[in-house]
Amino acid sequence: MSAGQQLDKSALPQHLGIIMDGNGRWAKKRGLPRSAGHTAGANNFRTITRYCSRIGIPYLTVYAFSTENWRRPAEEVGALMRLFKQYLEEALRDFMDENIRVIFIGDTSAFSPELRELIARVERESSGKTGMVLNIAMNYGGRAELVHAMRLLAEDVQAGRLSPEAIDEDAISARLYTAGQPDPDLVIRPSGEHRTSNFLLWQSAYAEYVVMDILWPDFKTSDLDRALLEYASRNRRFGGV
Ligand code: IPE
Ligand code: IPE
Ligand code: MG
């Protein structure tokens, strides 16, 4: 039995974040174009998502494309956009029998009308699902998310719906893309980089981080199990003793 199935439900994170990093290096190691790494990464995303749903993780957020990833060569961004489109078309065909609700977090208005339509359809067609909530972070940045939330707050104040004194942590959380969801308990970063890269900045104030020296396309369910066991052994204090 795998650790995911072995672990008591209460020892599992309520909300797991994964920074799906290392596709480019995976491809380079094999003498392949970076886009081949992204294809392998997308395939792995399907495997890991299904596994998370099966072992009973209630919320999963995956980082698929950051607000900074537009800085990459046009060819790579183009390949990623084609892959997103292909993935969403497949998801509409095959993924909808899974009991997973899909929500896109980030500024999706920057994507092509075709991709936006697919995003809207996946969200709509999965909206009645009662199992795991899957947040796909696309054109997501923690800072951009906070800017967006501040604008919403300013609008409410300007319109007289909210007084400045009423702005508290809950008022900010309620205006994030993850409104109503628990904060992530665990963030896993494969690829060995020790940084957040702008992922869930506000929400992960007290998240446990597990950095693993393994590239995302190579990341297996057994690696997830290792991270879950590591998480279960951590002593979370939240500033207390
Ligand atoms: C993550 O893999 C995928 C995206 C950021 C879209 P990378 O493409 O960042 O892979 P490395 O970090 O260059 O190996
Ligand atoms: C973070 O990875 C974003 C995603 C995995 C989507 P990056 O590869 O963009 O992060 P940096 O540039 O190494 O910080
Ligand atoms: Mg990277």
Query: Can you tell me the distance from the alpha carbon of 176 to that of 207, in angstroms, rounded to the nearest whole number?
Result: 17
> How does pLDDT run across 57-98, given as a tens digit for each residue?
999 999 999 999 999 999 999 999 999 999 999 989 887 889
Per-residue pLDDT reduced to its tens digit, 182-194: 999 999 999 999 9
Contact status, residue 177 vs residue 105, Cβ threshold 8 Å: yes
69 belongs to the catalytic site = yes
What distance in Å separates the CA atoms of residue 129 and residue 143, rounded to the nearest whole number? 30
What pLDDT sits at residue 8? 84
Judge contact between 219 and 47, C-beta under 8 A: no
Identified catalytic residue from 8, 21, 94, 135: 21
Nearest atom in ligand 2 to the alpha carbon of residue 20 is: 5
pLDDT at 46 over 70: yes
The environment of the single-atom ion ligand 3, i.e. residues with CB closer than 5 A, is: 21
Q: How far is the CA of 23 from the centre of ligand 1 (A)?
A: 5
Residue 17 token pair: 């974040």
Tokens, residue 43: 């395939």
Which residues line the pocket of ligand 2, CB cutoff 6 A? 19-21, 63-66, 69, 193, 195, 197
39 has a pLDDT exceeding 80: yes
Burial label for 170, CB within 10 Å (0-12, 13-18, 19+), is exposed
Predicted confidence at residue 95, as pLDDT, reads 79
Amino acid at 209: Y
Q: Which residues are annotated as a binding site?
A: 21-26, 34, 38, 66-68, 70, 72, 189, 195-197, 208
Instruction: Please work out whether the CB of residue 20 comes within 6 Å of at least one atom of ligand 1.
Output: yes
Query: Which residue bears the tokens 């936006």?
Result: 116
72 lines ligand 1 (CB under 6 A): no
Mean pLDDT of 101-121: 97
Mark the binding-site residues for substrate, compressed into ranges.
22-26, 34, 38, 66-68, 70, 72, 189, 195-197
Helix extents (H) in the chain? 3-6, 23-29, 34-55, 74-94, 113-126, 142-158, 169-173, 221-233
The share of the chain scoring above pLDDT 70, in percent, equals 99
| 168 assigned to active site | no
Q: How high is the mean pLDDT of the chain?
A: 96
* Predicted confidence (pLDDT) per residue in 114-168, tens digit: 999 999 999 999 999 999 999 999 999 999 999 999 999 999 999 999 999 999 9
Catalytic choice (8, 43, 44, 69): 69
